[in-house]
Each structure stands twice: as C-alpha cells, then as structure tokens.
Structure 1
Amino acid sequence: MGDAAVKVTRVTADDLPDLLVLMRAYCTFYDSDPADDELRALATAFLDEGSGGTQLIARDDSGRALGHATLLSSWDTTLGQRLAVMEDLFVTEAARGRGVGAALVEACRQLAAERGIEALAWETAPDNETAQRLYDGLADRAGTWLAYRLPTGGPAT
C-alpha cells in the first residue's frame, strides 16, 4: 500500500481541525475559496449520520492527516438502484503515490457495500491526470456524460 500504514476512518468531531485543513487544501487545488465558516458548516453537517453523506479521513501510523473523501448516497433510475457518489477525494501532495488515494476509494467502496449499495461513482477534472492514473487502475470509466451545475438562488447555508 505504500511506505507507511494508512488508516481510514469516519470523521468525528475530534477530526474536524485536520479535516478543515484538508478541505481548504482541496479547495485551493481547484482554485476555489469558500469562507472558513462555510467549510466548517459543511464538515459539521456530515457528522450527522442522517445528512446523506459521510466524510472519511486517512491518517498515517503517527496520526498525521493524509487525505479525505466525501461519500454521498443517491439513486440511479437507469439502473434501478441506489448509488454511492464519491464527491471529494483529496490527498496531500506529500502523501501522493503512497496508496492513500486507493485506500480512501476502497474505504468508500466498503462503506457503500455495507449500506447495500451496488455501485460507487465519481468524477474528476479532465486535467487532473494524477487522479485519473489512480482511478483508471481501480475502475472503468463510466461514459461520456456531461456535468452541469445550476445555482438555485437559495441561501448558501
């Protein structure tokens, strides 16, 4: 799996300080800059099991945070089944290439299976070739669907 043991667990309140650092780094990677209170509200919301989402954190054997993933539950009408969506996956630059990303994907897959979900789906930016190398070794590409996003005009919180 790499040069150090990687342990992936569900995020708890004790993990929030490290998770927020990882979330900020993820946002910076994608040139996004949400307010700190928005990130904190999002991270805190996922602590509630009824939120429809779960956040996972990867740590090395010394407890250092290496990465995180966000897993959401959804449905796929065309398959007639529930679907798990890995919304975020981020590994710190220093930890890349050490099996952390694969460990996070596997933890998401296992959690989805425990919930009776038959498939795990995710997407990545077309220019994120590092992530694509990892993902291409783990799963088949799902097709040529285009992604859209429409602001609702509703409150951000």
Structure 2
Amino acid sequence: MKIFQATMHELEELTVLFDEYRQFYGIESDISSAKAFLQLRLALKESVIFIAVKDGKAVGFTQLYPTFSSIALQRAYILNDMYVVDDVRGQGVGTALMEKVFQYCEQQYARYVTLQTATDNINARRLYEKLHMQQDEFCNYVKYFD
C-alpha cells in the first residue's frame, strides 16, 4: 500500500472516495459538486489530502485543514475527513493514513491535530485510542447557518 499527498493528478479517484464518504454520512451522491469542492481546496492549497492506494486502487483518504494555536504560537491541524472503502476495512488502511497524518503534522511543527467523531462510531474511536489520541476536556459548541 502507498500513501501520499494527493494532487490534481488524483482528483478523479479522490472525488469518487469523497462522494462515497459523504454518502456514508447520509448525503446524496453529487459527483460534480464533490469534484468542484476538492478541486478548489487543492488549487487554493486550503487543505492537505492524503490518499491510500492498494493494488493500484484508491482505497481511502484523509483531509486536513490548517489552523493555528494562539496559545502555543504554532500551527495546528483539523483532521476533518477520513474514509476507507468497505472492502479493505480492518486491513490497516485507517491506521496507515493516521500515521501519515501524524508524520506530516510533526514535520510541519504542528502543536496538535484534532478531530471529532460521532459517539456511536465505535470503530473509529477504537482506532484513535489505539493510536494514543485522547479526548480533550473542552465542551464543544456549534452554531449552524442555513
């Protein structure tokens, strides 16, 4: 398996994964919007996307958004998206993607990488805990805009 930072060259494969990821969360398939969204993120360098390829097929991805820690005066990252196709789950793809994320964040001298997942996403929570991530002490609030 190879894991590397995605570029415009991987846009087509990445779009399929991204659309499947959004469907996993109950969003209707929309390949053209998914592609446009990713294309813009890559073109503007607004996110860092790692793609996992196994036996010549794209099987997973992660997407990081940069932010900063004002307290630490350092860069930080939000791991906003992670997806592994069904037929390779349990084969170490998620672990390998997360390890690539950690390596990248360390190379960028980031203070931390953070993520959120649903409380009932037991498999993801097990993975994050296995990789020594910990729940923080903060109470998160959100306001959605239509």
Q: Is the 8 A contact 2:60 2:85 kept in 1?
A: yes
Give the letter aligned to residue 98 of structure 1: Q
| Residue number among 130, 140, 143 corresponding to 1:137 in the alignment | 130
Q: Is the 8 A contact 2:52 2:59 kept in 1?
A: yes
Alignment of 1:26-41 (within 5 A): 26-33=21-28, 35-41=30-36
**SS of the counterpart of 2:124?**
helix
Q: How many pairs are equivalent?
A: 145
Q: Is the 8 A contact 1:82 1:118 kept in 2?
A: yes
Aligned-residue offset at 1:145: 2.4
Pair 1:147–1:15, CA change in 2 (3 A): farther
Alignment of 1:8-157 (within 5 A): 8-33=3-28, 35-48=30-43, 50-60=44-54, 62-138=55-131, 139-151=133-145
Structure 1: 5+ residue runs without aligned partners?
Answer: 1-5
Q: Structure 1 length normalisation: TM-score?
A: 0.83
Separation in structure 2 between the aligned mates of residue 63 and residue 76 of structure 1, nearest angstrom: 38
Separation in structure 2 between the aligned mates of residue 76 and residue 31 of structure 1, nearest angstrom: 32
Give the letter aligned to residue 86 of structure 1: L
Aligned-residue offset at 1:34: 6.2
Percent of pairs with identical residues = 27
CA-based RMSD of the aligned residues comes to 1.8
**SS of the counterpart of 1:51?**
coil
Pair 1:33–1:144, CA change in 2 (3 A): farther
Structure 2: 5+ residue runs without aligned partners?
Answer: none
Give the letter aligned to residue 48 of structure 2: T
